[in-house]
């Protein structure tokens, strides 16, 4: 199965995180991208296996192991859609304004 659709804002967050890690140590951004690729494929394969976000159960979250990032997504009939790729310490729910009711 292919990877989930990423909203443009989530795509920007991914690019910014890759750039930030790459600036810290050459190759680290690529490692982050690899971890994110595994996460996106896991979400695509079994979106219902990831816990619902307690603040809004319409959304689910995938927590990366090595990097302090959380992928927030929902899974409509058309397939999973990533709405945010946020640092674990970022204000929860900052991304809710990106999506409709």
- Structural domains of the chain in order of their starting residue, each with its CATH number: 5-98 (3.30.2310.20)
Q: Which two tokens stand for residue 78?
A: 């058309």
Q: How far is CA 79 from CA 47, 65, 100, in A?
A: 9, 24, 16
pLDDT band at 90 (very low <50, low <70, confident <90, very high): confident
Q: Please report which helix (H) or strand (E) contains residue 56, including its range.
A: strand 56-63
- State percent of the chain over pLDDT 90: 71
What number is the average pLDDT over the span 28-41?
97
| pLDDT for residue 100 is more than 70 | no
State the Cα–Cα distance between residues 21 and 13, nearest whole angstrom.
12
Residue scoring higher pLDDT (98 or 87): 87
């Amino acid at each position: 199965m292919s990877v989930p659709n990423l909203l443009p804002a989530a795509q920007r967050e991914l690019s910014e995180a890759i750039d930030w890690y790459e600036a810290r140590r050459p190759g680290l951004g690529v490692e982050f991208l690899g971890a994110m690729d595994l996460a996106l494929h896991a979400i695509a394969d079994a979106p219902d296996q990831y816990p619902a976000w307690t603040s809004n159960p319409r959304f689910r979250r995938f927590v990366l192991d090595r990097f302090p990032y959380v992928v927030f997504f929902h899974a409509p009939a058309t397939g999973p859609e990533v709405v945010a790729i946020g640092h674990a310490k970022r204000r929860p729910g900052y991304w809710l304004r990106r999506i409709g009711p």
